[in-house]
Amino acid sequence: MGAIFLSASVPTREPYSSDCRPQEIQAAVNALAQVVLGRKKLVWGGHPAITPLLWSAAQAVGVEYTVAVELFQSKLFQKVLPEENKNFANVKLIDAVGEDVEASLLAMRKAMFTSAEFEAAVFIGGMHGILDEHKLFTSYWPNATCIPIAQTGGATVHLARDLNYLPPDDLAPLDFVALLYGGLGIRPSQKREARVDQGGDHGTSSGVL
C-alpha cells in the first residue's frame, strides 16, 4: 500500500483568493482525515491554516497524528513555522538552499516525494504552489491517482480544469467523504492503525499506515 500526498492551503492572494471557499476547504480536509488517517500514511508540506485542522481531525477519529501524518518543511521558514509544529514529533526539516525561496521549496518537495511510495495525491484550495506540487509529484509518480477537489476554490479549480477532472455523477457536489473513499480505493470498514488507545504500540504492521 502506498502513501497519500496532500497539497492544501487557504489562498490569501489574488487571483486565487477571489474564489476561495474556506468552509469547503475545511470540509475537504476533515473528509480526507476521516477517510485516510490511520489507514494510509499522509504526507504533506504544511500550512498554518490547515495544520490545526488536521490535528483536530486526527483527534476526532481517534488516531495518533504524529504517526499517521508526516509533515515536511524547509528550514528557511523556521522562524515563521506555525506554533503548533512544536507539538508534532513528525516534522521533517529540510535544509534550505541559501536564502533562495524557490530553490528551498524545490529541495523540500523533492525530499517529500522521495520519502515514500505514493499511490495518490489530493489537492485542496491553494495558490500557485498547488500547480507546482502537482507537476513535480507526477514527474515522480506518473501513475498515481490525482484528486483535485475543485469545490474548494483557489488553484485547485485551475488544476481540475487542466486535468479535465470531474467527480462521479452519482455523488452530491459536497460529498467529499464518498468522493475520497471511491477515488482513493479505501473501504469505510477498513481498520485504522495507529490509534490513540493503543498507547506506545501503534499497531503498524507495515511501513505504511
Span 169-201, pLDDT tens digits: 888 889 999 999 999 999 999 999 866 444 333
d(CA 158, CA 6): 17
Stated length of the chain: 209
All cell numbers assigned to 185: 480505493
The helix (H) or strand (E) run that includes residue 36 is helix 22-36
6 close to 18: Cβ distance less than 8 angstroms: no
**Residue that the C-alpha cell 509518480 belongs to:** 141
d(CA 207, CA 209): 7
Angle, alpha carbons 159-37-27 (nearest 5°) = 50
pTM here is 0.88
Return the beta strands (E) in the chain as ranges: 3-9, 42-44, 69-74, 91-94, 118-125, 145-149
127 close to 11: Cβ distance less than 8 angstroms: yes
H-only helix segments in 93-127: 101-113
**Residue pLDDT tens, the chain, 209 long:** 689 999 999 998 899 988 889 999 999 999 999 999 999 999 999 888 888 888 888 888 888 888 888 989 888 877 655 555 555 557 888 999 998 999 999 999 999 999 999 999 999 999 999 999 999 999 999 999 999 999 999 999 999 999 999 988 888 889 999 999 999 999 999 999 866 444 333 333 222 22
Span 128-146, pLDDT tens digits: 999 999 999 999 999 999 9
